[in-house]
Chain A
């Protein structure tokens, strides 16, 4: 177990992931010899265009759509903004947006500031969630009106891993003629996505959450869906996203999608088993530990646990001494003074929200790592509780 401490135990894969070696291999030629611009008329640039085409097909195969429906962007946030603003511009007479209280800031902050972003007033419905982080379908149905310009609902929550029923929600929106966007940044690579069989109009994805590098994202736009580019400029991406393509990263993302497809079974079996072992172990060995989020409707790699009476930043910094990496929904880690908006929307009491830790695994985690974390966590929590004026004792 000694040598374990010399390397990082990375359980923060919902924040970002390591670039897969296969992905890096695929990218290297485009960072070295093959530096041409895919828009060029010469063969040297043109061959790079071929690589983009291949990557587009790999992405399309992965999410079950046509390659022409895939637009490469710089990140998930850009994809979210492009999709939502596009839908709003397509229906200027509609002035209502439906989303949830647990969205990633990329969608939440856009919707909350949509008036100043667009210069137009919008009514925004932010659907509430229950203590499991689930949306009530009746609330959802009631929120949809003739005035609704777009629905934007995340497929899976980044903090809790809770999976929302976007397939059904998209179908209900479609029946009412309302465009549907989903932020699938966390879902992609962890649960299967087959857009051909779904009524989703816009879908956002990010490269670095599935072992591709940072700085590349995807926006899927269903054929026939109104679209307005976010960036004005050159004709790249058929005029839908100007700016010279981030070729190497796009090639990497294509390869990462292929790998994710191959490892989907492992993600949902071995990784899930490790997650379950970690979760069950922590809940059993540490008193007053609570699971946040629906136990079943959840990504296979994520668990979010609150340790009552201790504060998240302190927990993370003690874990850091053992080189264990995770995240917290506590106020102090964000620089704001309030704990996670997701946990508060779920009604998690402050006593627990401040001490919440998110562990998010990947296919690169091992059982030894989980055993090591299970060995260290009770000590860390115990030590901090000894110091806490609120800890009532076991």
Chain B
């Protein structure tokens, strides 16, 4: 169960300003049935002041509460004041939202913008962006804006705020790019963990042989010894020491401190080197 604040629960159970203003001066229609939430905001505006606001919402408790909060906040505001409202303001009005539900407050802010743009008869910048997330129809401009306004630092946070990446997940790479680009100015970015490059056994063997030849054998040979690669099984590398090395009491140290260290540095840091007895 979600950890909703009492304010969220109260606004969900007793939503304010439900309905639709007839002959509204500004209408903001955002979201869709497919996305799982949608909000239609209607405004009555007189002398650049919002004198009435009503909403209809399809969505979860936090979507309904965010819509209700938004209408309460903007009633009586001048347009200039209303324009400054961010999704954080809506969330704060409600005493906070679970992080997975922040997109509900974003939907409120988007509906307000759409309604004000409709009042002025101008197009929204949203339409000009390039769609990044096809599942939820989110554009790059929306993503970049959310990153900047809400100081997002991971793809997961972008999904919580904008829903982008919450469907098939195909756009995660693109979201990461946008994130890196947007926060590149001296900010620390938490990158997506890159899956470690997987090597085939054959590639491993070739590389291990190469390192043995270049970096390990010359040293051993100076002491009259040698080394042979016996087997590679996953991360386990079996080797056999030859010549002087076989009788050297330091052979175990040679294997771990010298051979394993070199192979971990140059081939794969998870390798475990064992001696064939």
Interface residues of A (CB under 8 A from B): 119, 309-314, 317-318, 321, 330-333, 335-339, 350-351, 354, 386-390
Contacts and interface: CB of A to CB of B under 8 A. Distances in A.
Contacts of B33: 309, 350-351, 354, 390
B61 interface: yes
Given A337-B166, A387-B18, A389-B40, A314 B34 contact: no
Interface residues of B, number: 30
Given A339-B36, A389-B38, A332 B60 contact: yes
B36 A386 contact: no
Contacts of A317: 12, 61
Given A309-B58, A311-B58, A314-B64, A389 B39 contact: yes
A387 B34 contact: no
Contact of A389 (B15, B29, B36, B159): B29
Contact of B15 (A337, A354, A387): A387
A337 B136 contact: yes
A314 B100 contact: no
A92 to B, nearest CB: 14
11 contacts: A119-B234, A313-B61, A314-B61, A332-B36, A332-B60, A337-B166, A338-B166, A351-B34, A354-B36, A387-B58, A389-B57
A389 B58 contact: yes
B37 A311 contact: yes
B143 to A, nearest CB: 15
Contacts of A333: 60
A338 B29 CA distance: 21
B61 A350 contact: no
A311 B64 CA distance: 10
B163 interface: yes
A389 to B, nearest CB: 4
Which of B40, B59, B100, B234 has most chain A Cβ within 10 Å? Answer: B59
A314 B64 CA distance: 9
Contacts of B218: none
Contacts of A386: 18
B75 interface: no
Given A314-B12, A330-B36, A387-B57, A335 B64 contact: no
A124 to B, nearest CB: 18
B100 A335 contact: yes
Contacts of A331: 36
A314 B60 CA distance: 5
Contacts of A388: 56-58
Contacts of B61: 313-314, 317
B159 A311 contact: no
A387 B40 CA distance: 10
Which of A336, A337, A351 has most chain B Cβ within 10 Å? Answer: A337
Contact of B36 (A309, A321, A335, A350): A350
Contacts of B64: 314, 387
Nearest to B68: A387
A311 B59 contact: yes
A313 B57 CA distance: 13
Interface string B9-50: 000110100100000000001000110111110000000000
Contacts of A321: 13
Contacts of A309: 33, 58
Contacts of B101: 332
Nearest to B9: A317
Contacts of A350: 33-34, 36
A241 to B, nearest CB: 27
A351 B39 CA distance: 15
